[in-house]
Homo-oligomer: A and B are copies of this chain.
């Protein structure tokens, strides 16, 4: 029943036809997947500057010209239809989930494609580093921290991080490997000691699912692409459209 898409274009067309509505992890292996943020042009300079100032949580894969629907990183794609699920926020409040946002489209919408961690997770798996949330088939654990992002205009807030338990002997290897993937958040922002960045209890993530940390493991924290969504929510934009959790925009770029 369930198909694994090998080609980004096939997945995008199936999402456009409203057949495919599932999370995109594991599909189109080797291709870059992206967090999506669509905001009005009035806020686009401030948000672009926010991304420039906070490259670890907001590594930019591509920013489309105002009004444009077809990314350079995915020829023939339509940013308003080819994601398996969208979320709409009005005045900072989540209002609805849609599988197509064509009817909401405005000529001044600017779309931001922001890197996600899938690429470096693939590389870690290939290097023989097990990832607990993958083993357990759940979402990665994510936390809001007390690490302030550098603000820009209306956009400000704390960094959201993802956490992966890593064996002590693998920490250096994991830093090296993830460092090669700047568009997938790069090196960790913090290793060990969750309290120091304002995480009181790793068993209670703010997003995603909790995983246990074994005695021979250290919690390793990476900047997370949920950060710009959290910051956009806090800034109470009149309108903001994002991908639904786990349902990323799949580009034609090789990760």
A45 at the interface (CB under 8 A from B): yes
A52 at the interface (CB under 8 A from B): yes
Contacts of A51 in B (CB 8 A): 52
A152 at the interface (CB under 8 A from B): yes
Contacts of A220 in B (CB 8 A): none
Contacts of A60 in B (CB 8 A): 52
Partner of A44, one of B41, B45, B53: B45
A48 at the interface (CB under 8 A from B): yes
A49 at the interface (CB under 8 A from B): yes
Please tell me if the beta carbons of A45 and B52 are within 8 angstroms of each other in the complex: no
Residue of B nearest to A45 (CB): B45
Nearest chain B CB to A110 CB, angstrom units = 8
A232 at the interface (CB under 8 A from B): no
A238 at the interface (CB under 8 A from B): no
Nearest chain B CB to A4 CB, angstrom units = 32
Partner of A63, one of B52, B63, B65: B52
Contacts of A41 in B (CB 8 A): 45
Nearest chain B CB to A164 CB, angstrom units = 26
A23 at the interface (CB under 8 A from B): no
Nearest chain B CB to A67 CB, angstrom units = 12
Contacts of A192 in B (CB 8 A): none
Report the bound CA distance from A44 to B41 in whole Å: 12
Report the bound CA distance from A169 to B75 in whole Å: 41
Mark each residue of chain A from 189 to 219: 1 if its CB lies under 8 Å from any CB of chain B, else 0: 0000000000000000000000000000000
**Which positions 76-129 of chain A face chain B at CB distance < 8 Å?**
none
Contacts of A52 in B (CB 8 A): 48, 51-52, 60, 63
Nearest chain B CB to A154 CB, angstrom units = 11
Q: In the complex, given contacts A49-B63, A51-B52, what are 14 additional A-B residue pairs having Cβ atoms less than 8 angstroms apart?
A: A41-B45, A44-B45, A45-B45, A45-B48, A48-B48, A48-B49, A48-B52, A49-B65, A52-B52, A52-B60, A52-B63, A53-B63, A65-B152, A65-B153
Minimum-distance CB pairs A-B, first 3? A45-B45, A48-B48, A49-B63
